[in-house]
Structure 1
Amino acid sequence: MSLLSEAFLKAGHTLANVRRDFPEWHLGRPDYALWALDVDTQAVSQAVAVAAHHLDGLLLDGYRRQPHITLALGGFPTATPTHADDYGPAAFDAHLRALRSLGLAPFEIDIGGLASFTSAPFLSVGDPDGGIQRLHQTLGGERPEGRYIPHVTVGLFSGAWPTAEVLPRLEALADLLPIRCRIERVSLMRYAATEIGGPLARLADHDLSSGRLVWRETPPFPSAAGSDIPPPGRKEFIRPL
């Protein structure tokens, strides 16, 4: 039994997630941003769907977040940060400079079998080249939040289920054939803060080969490194190097 499975079993029960608004957290701020790897391929999406179906009856309904691997949390995007968990221009520029200084080339990962935290089951992620860990350290190394385990979330537990009963269901899909994915970009993503498990939207992509940042939506704040506003009529804007 793996250390993660032992910790899951020792917890006794899963954590019950609740579908409601959390105004005490978002304070009326509409979106939350994070840096992540987009792994929303057909093969990965199918594996997530198979795992979710396998755990039917244990998961919160309506989880619509696309397959991704979180690298680091950003915060609530704003041009004028006032709260500790706001994500402003200075923090964004620091992250972008760090990514460019890292100079990481595209790399490959493996997405495999089913495992779980007490709050959420996930597909495990293999990082043979160490690219994910390097990105996490570059983007989130200043925020120690315990052991970082890259993963692809399958859903959220809907109740306090006995872990001794859940674990055998997890182990039944623990040895899925790994799915090889090539990672060519790092994405700044956002989700609606009022919606639990709602879909992600890509704000921008940092291309690992060129070091360019391509905005997919209108930037949420101006940048000290130059204009980030997409020209009228264009759906994407390539930020200058």
Structure 2
Amino acid sequence: MLLSDTGNGPCETLVAELRDYPEWHRGRARYGVWLAPVFDRALHDYIRALRQRLSDLLYPSPQRQLHLTLSVCGFEQPTSVMDDDFTPAQLRRQIELLGRARGGPCALPLGPVDSFASAVFIPVGDPEGRLSRWRHALEHAGREIRQAAYVPHITLGLYRRKVAANDLRARLSEIDLPPVSLMVTELHYATYCARTHFGPLESHHRMALHSVTGCGNPLDPLAVE
């Protein structure tokens, strides 16, 4: 449910509970996702100012790099035992299929700031179907772990207090549109520690659009907030 949907959207924000979730990770350490990193300095500056503007509502997230999530893979495991495990064989197949479908760099339009019940975000458009194409390729190698319909977005933060939907709409309506589009030049497979909220993303494979290379380094420092 989106705040912009005045008929069906949330009536207030949900406060995130920052705790360990053993019933979710069940002892597993790393959670994997495919993503597009945010490198543009102007967009970083815009988001930094926006987070400050909404700091009374949001938890700070100083270590989690800005990104657009492309597909949620699951917990890294050598073999698949639980329904949300993700194996090396699946990753290899995804790399192969995504490599065929990647195409060249692209610019994705950004919309006015919106919100889920749990988080505020910048919507990302897909007018040429690039995100759909990449997601379709990835899904051929493994079912995505998802509880709701995919909404392309850049998360700005999780809520730390409740606020009524009408009050939040009024605040967000005063925010200017993002100054630039999202330039996508690389796609990354990355993981994060399942026990740590807002922990850093570690990139294990970096796929340049038009060329592909392996990578064992963290995401570009420019993307660290």
TM-score range, shorter chain: 0.7 to 0.9
Tell me the equivalent position of 1:232.
none
- Partners of 2:112 and 2:177 within 8 A in 1: yes
Identity %: 30
**Structure 2 Cα separation of the partners of residues 193 and 8 of structure 1:** 35
TM-score using structure 1 length: 0.79
Which residue, out of 168, 171, 183, partners 2:170?
Answer: 168
Tell me the equivalent position of 1:215.
215
Tell me the equivalent position of 2:38.
39
Which ranges of structure 2 fall in alignment gaps of 5 or more residues?
219-225
Question: How far 1:145 sits from its partner (Å)?
Answer: 4.9
| 3-state SS in 2 of match to 1:113 | coil
Can you list the C-alpha shifts for 1:64-92, whole angstroms capped at 9, x where unaligned?
31110001011111223322111102221
- Partners of 1:8 and 1:118 within 8 A in 2: no
Tell me the equivalent position of 2:189.
188
- Partners of 2:36 and 2:68 within 8 A in 1: yes
Which residue, out of 148, 151, 154, partners 2:153?
Answer: 151
Counterpart amino acid of 2:184? I
Which ranges of structure 1 fall in alignment gaps of 5 or more residues?
219-241
| 3-state SS in 2 of match to 1:129 | coil
- Partners of 1:44 and 1:67 within 8 A in 2: no
TM-score using structure 2 length: 0.84
Question: How far 1:34 sits from its partner (Å)?
Answer: 0.2
- Partners of 2:12 and 2:164 within 8 A in 1: yes
**Quick one: structure 1 residues 98 and 44, their matched pair in 2 at CA, closer, same or farther if it must change by over 3 Å?**
same
In the TM superposition, structure 1's runs of 4+ consecutive aligned residues that sit over 6 Å from their partners are: none
- Partners of 2:46 and 2:179 within 8 A in 1: no
Q: Which has the higher contact order (CA 8 A, sep 6+)?
A: 2
Answering whether residue 207 of structure 2 is matched by residue 206 of structure 1, we say: yes
- Partners of 1:69 and 1:152 within 8 A in 2: yes
- Partners of 1:113 and 1:178 within 8 A in 2: no
**Quick one: structure 1 residues 50 and 9, their matched pair in 2 at CA, closer, same or farther if it must change by over 3 Å?**
farther
- Partners of 2:3 and 2:9 within 8 A in 1: no
Counterpart amino acid of 2:93? A
Can you list the C-alpha shifts for 1:162-207, whole angstroms capped at 9, x where unaligned?
111111111111x424413432221001111111122212111112
- After TM superposition, list the pairs within 5 Å mapping 1:57-136 onto structure 2: 57-62=56-61, 64-136=63-135
> Alpha carbon RMSD of aligned pairs, Å?
2.4
**Structure 2 Cα separation of the partners of residues 69 and 62 of structure 1:** 15
Can you list the C-alpha shifts for 1:115-154, whole angstroms capped at 9, x where unaligned?
1111100112233432222212322475475432211100
**Structure 1 Cα separation of the partners of residues 19 and 147 of structure 2:** 25
**Structure 2 Cα separation of the partners of residues 146 and 137 of structure 1:** 17
- After TM superposition, list the pairs within 5 Å mapping 1:222-237 onto structure 2: none
- Partners of 1:9 and 1:167 within 8 A in 2: no
Larger Rg: 1
| 3-state SS in 2 of match to 1:14 | coil
